[in-house]
Amino acid sequence: MSELLNTESRLIPEEAFAELRAKRLREPDAVAEALAHRARRSVVRGDGRLFFVAADHPARGALGVGSDPLAMASRYDLLQRLALALSRPGVDGVLGTPDIIEDLALLGLLDDKLVVGSMNRGGLRGATFEMDDRFTAYDVDAMSGDGLDFAKLLVRINLEDAGTARTMEETAKAVTAAAAARLPIMLEPFMSHWNGGKIVNDLSTEAVITSVAIAAGLGATSSYSWLKLPVVPDMARVMEATTLPTLLLGGDPGGDPDAVYASWGEALALPGVHGLVVGRTLLYPHDDDVAAAVDTAAALVHRS
């Protein structure tokens, strides 16, 4: 995957990156100041729909897109793509780990955007301990202190791996803590299993329904819980399994883009579905036209 070649698509000048590096070196307190002074917005407004761009993959060692195993290796290229995505109408916010969120804050790109903190990145891709997906990024106290708007965590449930027990227990604690802090929290559940040394998520309708039932019951209250679910066959049955507000997971890039967009559009029309969270599919599209890919998804979410 090449870097953004169109210089007009590069919204961040080199001098801004130089200033970012200088602040990282000499002014660590500038991070907290940038987050404290960003312009905030309400979570739900207008049409009540939400569209987030996700960029928390690198912290789990997942740098690949398509056939390129290091497509996301350049932080500067990723930030350019995120800047372009966030500049497009209809993009409500960004999901990321602290390093990425703080880079964006220092670059002044988070005004009037919702910021979602990604929590458990400890289940590194391909690791023997992948199912023990510990909370190694944001925690609720840090997100509340930084003024973040949303939390997000992954709940992979493997009935044959004991690491699932710790993940579920810690997830329940996080859900309870988020509710106490009045911080909305997205739960991204999967029924998962080992296959040839790799974790595979079961994307059958029945498995997703089961994962929803388990995830929705985690924590002492579900009052601030949201779901982040993959688009699978018969999404209407999936959405009958919960009353929690739900955002759709865009998934890994692949296949016919038109078919993918069509499946998103159908699922977005279902009761209880309030938006979309997409990462690599839009940030690294097949034709490398980030703006066009983001605009297409934004139109589906906000029905413009």
CATH fold, domain 29-302, is: TIM Barrel (3.20.20)
Residue 200, H or E segment: strand 198-201
Residue 246, H or E segment: strand 246-249
DSSP assigned state of 247 = E
**pLDDT surpasses 90 at 221:** yes
- CA distances to 73, 117, 225 from 37, in Å: 30, 17, 27
pLDDT in tens, 173-209: 999 999 999 999 999 999 999 999 899 999 999 999 9
Identify any residues that bridge with 93 across adjacent strands, giving them in sequence order.
52, 114
* Model pLDDT, residue 253: 65
**pLDDT surpasses 80 at 254:** no
Give the start-to-end residue ranges of the domains of the chain.
Answer: 29-302
The answer to whether 152 touches 117, Cβ cutoff 8 Å, is yes
**Distance spanning both ends of the chain, measured CA to CA:** 31
pLDDT in tens, 31-84: 999 999 999 999 999 999 999 999 999 999 999 998 899 999 999 999 999 999
* Cut 0.85: pTM above it: yes
pLDDT band for position 251 (cuts 50, 70, 90): confident
Q: Which two tokens stand for residue 90?
A: 């209809």
